Amino acid sequence: MASETVIPTRVKICGLSNEATLAAALEAGADWIGLVHFPRSPRHVALDRAAALSARARGRAERVILLVDPDDALAAAAVAAVDPDLIQLHGGESPDRVAAIRALTGRPVMKALGIATRADLAAVSAYAAVADRILLDAKAPPDSILPGGNGLRFDWAILADAALPPGTMLSGGLDAGNVAEALARTRVGAVDVSSGVESAPGAKDPDKIAAFVAAARAAR
């Protein structure tokens, strides 16, 4: 009997902000490295800093610039500076706005959607029609200043029997200790982590990065 082909889980380490932790993510074998350009985030990096980190990752991992409700000028400036392989939109962008940013920049776009209840999945199909990838993240609390990276997880049972588009990525409260369970329960093929590999908000931990990537790979 032929053995079943196992497709490794793809992993994104988001919110990297210095050379040491970028190197840790690359050495661990992360598929994507995420750079956050959102001043209210403890993981924020200016575009010139993001450009320098992106250049170090070129050819070793796909580079993602995370933006929150960017106007045309910011979207264009981010692409010009960082040369990302993917733009992650993590705000309240409508499907039309996602399509417009994709057309303006000429880059693939990933749209993050906040999930708290099964009803929140109703938005997936509209965004999947215009985005190259969907990221399902825990919905931020009403009083949060951050749309993501809050260290929260949603009930993965919400995704049971859900028709998710190919390439859907899971985020929200993941760490090395629960990523295998998350993958088993949701059946997604890609995961995104930020606060789960930190020692403090915005401070990535190289050992936690390595442990997370290893746990995600071992789960498949």
Query: Region 90-103: what's the mean pLDDT?
Result: 97
| Res. 2: pLDDT tops 70 | no
Which of 72, 96, 137, 192 is catalytic? The answer is: 137
What DSSP string runs through 126-174?
A: HHHTT-SEEEEEEPPPTT-S-SS-SS----GGGGTT--PPTT-EE-SS-
Residues contacting 47, CB < 8 A, separation 6+: 37, 77, 78, 81, 82
192 against 220, higher pLDDT: 192
Q: Is 85 a catalytic residue?
A: no
CA Rg, the chain, in Å?
16
What pLDDT shows up at residue 139? 87
* Lowest-pLDDT choice from 15-24, 80-89, 100-109, 153-162: 153-162
Query: Region 114-120: what's the mean pLDDT?
Result: 93
What pLDDT shows up at residue 57? 98
Which of 14, 71, 143, 155 is catalytic? The answer is: 14
What pLDDT shows up at residue 76? 98
What pLDDT shows up at residue 1? 45
Return the CATH superfamily for domain 10-218: Aldolase class I (3.20.20.70)
What pLDDT shows up at residue 142? 63
Q: Is 14 a catalytic residue?
A: yes
Q: In the 3-class helix/strand/coil scheme, how is 101-130 assigned residue by residue?
A: HHHHHCCCEEEEEEECCHHHHHHHHHHHCC
| Res. 44: pLDDT tops 80 | yes
| Res. 71: pLDDT tops 50 | yes
> What is the Cα–Cα distance from 152 to 140, expressed in whole angstroms?
8
